[in-house]
Amino acid sequence: MNTNASRGSVRLSLALGAALVSSVLCAAASAAVPADASGGTGTASPARTGSERACPVVYFDLGETLVHTAEDGSTGYQPGAASYLRALRERHIKVGLITNVPSSWGATDAERAARLKKEVDTTWQGSAPFAWKDFGERIRTPRTEAERKPAPALWQRAKADSGRCRVVYQAETADEVTVASSQGFVGYQVGRPHRPVFLPVGLVDQLDHRSG
pLDDT digits (tens, 9 = 90+) for 146-193: 999 999 999 999 999 999 999 999 999 999 999 999 999 999 999 999
* Nearest CA among 141, 152, 142, 159 for reference residue 57: 159
Q: What are phi and psi of 145, to 5 degrees?
A: -65, -25
Q: Is the pLDDT of residue 7 over 80?
A: no
Adjacent-strand bridge partners of 112? none
Integer Cα distance of 6 and 1 in angstroms: 7
Q: Is the pLDDT of residue 23 over 50?
A: no
Confidence of residue 208 (pLDDT cuts 50, 70, 90): confident
**What is the architecture of the domain spanning 3-210?**
3-Layer(aba) Sandwich (3.40)
Calculate mean pLDDT across residues 194-208.
93
What is the β-pairing status of strands 75-77 and 94-98? unpaired
Confidence of residue 51 (pLDDT cuts 50, 70, 90): low
The pLDDT tens digits of the residues spanning 116-140 come to: 999 999 999 988 999 999 999 999 9
Confidence of residue 141 (pLDDT cuts 50, 70, 90): very high
Alpha-carbon distances of 136 from 52, 146, 164, 197, rounded to whole Å: 11, 25, 19, 24
Cα angle: 209, vertex 192, 62; to 5 degrees? 75
Mean pLDDT over all residues of the chain? Answer: 82
Give the pTM. Answer: 0.78
Q: What sign does the dihedral 14-16-21-22 (CA atoms) show?
A: positive
Peptide bond before residue 34 is cis, with ω within 30 degrees of 0: no
Integer Cα distance of 39 and 46 in angstroms: 17
Integer Cα distance of 181 and 185 in angstroms: 5
Q: What is the pLDDT of residue 210?
A: 53
Q: What is the pLDDT of residue 128?
A: 92
Q: What is the DSSP letter of 143?
A: S
The pLDDT tens digits of the residues spanning 71-81 come to: 999 999 999 99
Answer for the pair 78, 68: CB distance below 8 angstroms, yes or no.
yes
